[in-house]
Amino acid sequence: MFLFEGQFGAILHTGDCRLTSDCVQNLPMKYIVKKREENICRLDFVFLDCTFSKCFLKLPSKESAIQQVIACIWKHPHAPYVYLACDLLGHEDILVEVSRTFGLKIYIDRKLDCFKALSLTAPEIITDDPSSRFQIVGFHQLYDTASRKLEEARASLQPGTLVYSSINTVACNLCSKLETQPNRS
């Protein structure tokens, strides 16, 4: 959220966020504390981003989303690189928790827009070592990076790997044709 104060008044811009009670409690006290029946200070304008107001999906809490990201990374312990897509602000909590959980810093190319923001908000998680397991890429870069890495992997496949891969594909196709019965217990 952004709170602007000046001769123009007090303007709160929620950004693309879910306004939780924690967010409200973290506003400056003069907007929360009441003097008699009215707040000490008032907001002149509130710009509320309602992007997901008519969304019928139940969005996870921030804590749950962070745990889902970490669980996904744990499921792939041998992945040499984990690419985290982000552009500007809003992902700091996820990145800080990933860095803390795995005890590794995150590489960010200095040319990315989020580098400057993260160097101010979470400098302790940043490394300039491009061999770091965790790498931040822009959303537009993610597809290109994934495509390039997939091509590199295909080019390095050995014949033995191809046979094993084919056997697994046949086995998976056979398994997918099996019918399952619902669990009635």
Condensed to tens digits (0 to 9), the pLDDT of residues 4-35 reads: 888 888 887 776 665 566 766 676 665 555 55
CB of 102 within 8 A of CB of 133?
Answer: yes
Q: Which residues contact 136 (CB under 8 A, 6 or more apart)?
A: 83, 84, 85, 86, 95, 106, 107, 108, 109, 112, 114, 118
pLDDT confidence of residue 24: 67
Per-residue pLDDT band for 138 (boundaries 50, 70, 90) equals confident
Smallest CA-to-CA distance from 15 within 44, 42, 45, 50 is with 50
Per-residue pLDDT band for 129 (boundaries 50, 70, 90) equals very high
pLDDT digits (tens, 9 = 90+) for 52-68: 667 777 778 888 989 99
pLDDT digits (tens, 9 = 90+) for 68-93: 999 999 999 999 989 888 766 677 88
- Strand partners for 38: 35
- Domains of the chain by residue range: 2-47, 62-158
Average pLDDT over residues 98-127: 85
Which architecture characterizes domain 62-158 according to CATH? 3-Layer(aba) Sandwich (3.40)
Average pLDDT over residues 116-140: 86
pLDDT confidence of residue 127: 92
Is residue 99's pLDDT more than 90?
Answer: yes
Higher pLDDT, 136 or 16: 136
Is residue 141's pLDDT more than 70?
Answer: yes
Average pLDDT over residues 158-181: 48
